[in-house]
Amino acid sequence: MLRWLYIWNEVKTPISLLVFTLVGGAFGYHLLFPEASWLKIIYATAITLSTVGYGDVLGVENDPMAVGYTILLIFLGMGLVLYSASLITAFIIEGQLGEIFIKQSILSKVGKMQDHYIICGGGGTGYHVIQEIRESGADLVVIENSEERFHDLRKEFPKLNVIIGDATNEELLEEANIKKAACVIASLGNDKENLFLTFTAKMMNPNLKVVAKVVDVHMSQKLKNAGADYVVSPYFIGGMRIASVALRPNVVSFLDRMLRGKDAVRVGEFVIPKGSKLANQTIAGADIYGKTGINLVAYSPRSNSEEFTYNPAPTTQMQEGGVLVFVSTPEQQKRLEQTFS
């Protein structure tokens, strides 16, 4: 809907000029030849403006005033017609129309997505979020307000689904298929925008997971109150990383390979769904390693909890809603999901 509104805003001026010229010219002929039908008057106006020259259908040659009006209409009218045509031609040649149809194609693909990630803000922190989620193979949509950054993202990631506009706009979030999304990542330029986005996203889809970026850590609680499931401070994380590199450089190198390296191996998680074969099973009894090749790093009895058992014993009993944390390739994780979902 927004795209067609944009097209109309771009072409409404030249189209209005064309209509005004045709209607104005026809009205002038009507005053000069009141006995002529409107169809004949519009036809005469059209052939005059287009300079086709199919003949004098109104008897203009016999009326000096009509001749003068026709000369004026040709010069002024043709000027307006050529100007309008140049605006429409420029709109098409400069590629704007093509871009709009590309955006429509993106919206069509996004409308068919399910359990996808919506990243709001593609610059700075958002750019790195895009890279990591693309590496994971998950479906994602980016909402970016900057036209320049929109083109930069499309250039670097040609197949990336990018929607241009204000991420706090409900209509735009609907275009991003928020009601079927798994997660919204609020990575806009300031905390107030992220706060409003978080509230809007949760209002539109209460079951949605929202991860919000915070600049001022004092805003963290407000974001949580607005509905954010997780609040992340890039400055806090950056400070922790600097300290970790200074104190534990080898551990940081290892984790970097897991989180940001070009290797396919990643740290992953699996929330045990209702009816899963893992529910009420021990780790040894489920034979996770034998069926998937995955070694567990940690286990938590419930999602969104800080209660983890590291290197869980084979006798650890799992339950619905529990969380498995592991290191695996995307193929191994997919095998886990297919086997135990």
Residue 80 pLDDT grade (very low, low, confident, very high; cuts 50, 70, 90): confident
Same domain, 117 and 224: yes
Question: What's the pLDDT score for residue 266?
Answer: 80
CB 138 within 8 A of CB 132: no
Confidence category of residue 67, pLDDT binned at 50, 70, 90: confident
Interval 96-139: pLDDT, tens: 555 666 677 778 888 889 999 999 999 889 999 998 898 878 89
Collapsing DSSP to helix, strand or coil, 265 comes out as coil
Task: Give me the domain span that covers residue 39.
Answer: 2-94
Give me the CATH number covering residue 157.
Answer: 3.40.50.720
User: How far is 99 from 102, CA to CA, in rounded Å?
Assistant: 5
Tokens describing residue 179:
């009601």
Q: In percent, how much of the chain has pLDDT > 70? A: 89
**3-class SS shares of the chain: helix, strand, coil, % to 5:** 55, 15, 30
| Confidence check: pLDDT of 82 > 80 | no
Q: What is the model's pLDDT at position 63? A: 78
Higher per-residue pLDDT: 107 or 5:
107
Distances (CA, A) of 183 to 33, 139, 140, 162, 272: 68, 11, 9, 16, 18
Tens digits of per-residue pLDDT, 131-163?
889 887 889 999 999 888 888 888 888 888 888
The percentage of residues in the chain with a pLDDT greater than 90, rounded to a whole number, is 41
Whichever domain contains 291, its CATH number is: 3.30.70.1450
Q: How many CB atoms lie within 10 A of CB 243?
A: 11
The domain boundary residue, chosen from 177, 208, 232: 232
State the pLDDT at residue 64.
83
For residue 100, what pLDDT is reported?
62
> For the whole model, what pTM was predicted?
0.61
Domain-located, residue 254: no
Question: Is 150 within 8 Å of 164 (Cβ atoms)?
Answer: yes
> Is residue 224 scored above 60 in pLDDT?
yes
- What pLDDT sits at residue 9? 62
Higher-confidence residue of 95 and 64: namely: 64
pLDDT at 120: 95
**Whether the Cβ atoms of residue 200 and residue 173 lie closer than 8 Å to each other:** yes
Considering 187, 209, 232, which residue would you say is the last residue of a domain? Answer: 232
Instruction: Give the pair of three-digit tokens for residue 22.
Output: 């045709």
- Whether 86 and 117 map to the same domain: the answer is no
* Residue 268, SS3 per DSSP: strand
At 92, is the pLDDT very low, low, confident or very high (cuts 50, 70, 90)? low
pLDDT beyond 70 at 46:
yes
**C-alpha closest to that of 167 among 151, 184, 182:** 184
Specify if 99 maps to a domain: no
Q: What domain count does the chain have?
A: 3
Q: What is the pLDDT of residues 241-283, one digit of tens each?
A: 899 999 999 888 887 777 665 567 788 899 999 989 999 999 9
Q: Are residues 122 and 224 in the same domain?
A: yes
Number of Cα atoms under 13 Å in the Cβ half of residue 300: 14
- What is the secondary structure of 152-211 as a DSSP string? HHHHHSTT-EEEES-TT-HHHHHHTTGGG-SEEEE--SSHHHHHHHHHHHHHH-TT-EEE
User: Domain end: 94, 129, 152, which one?
Assistant: 94
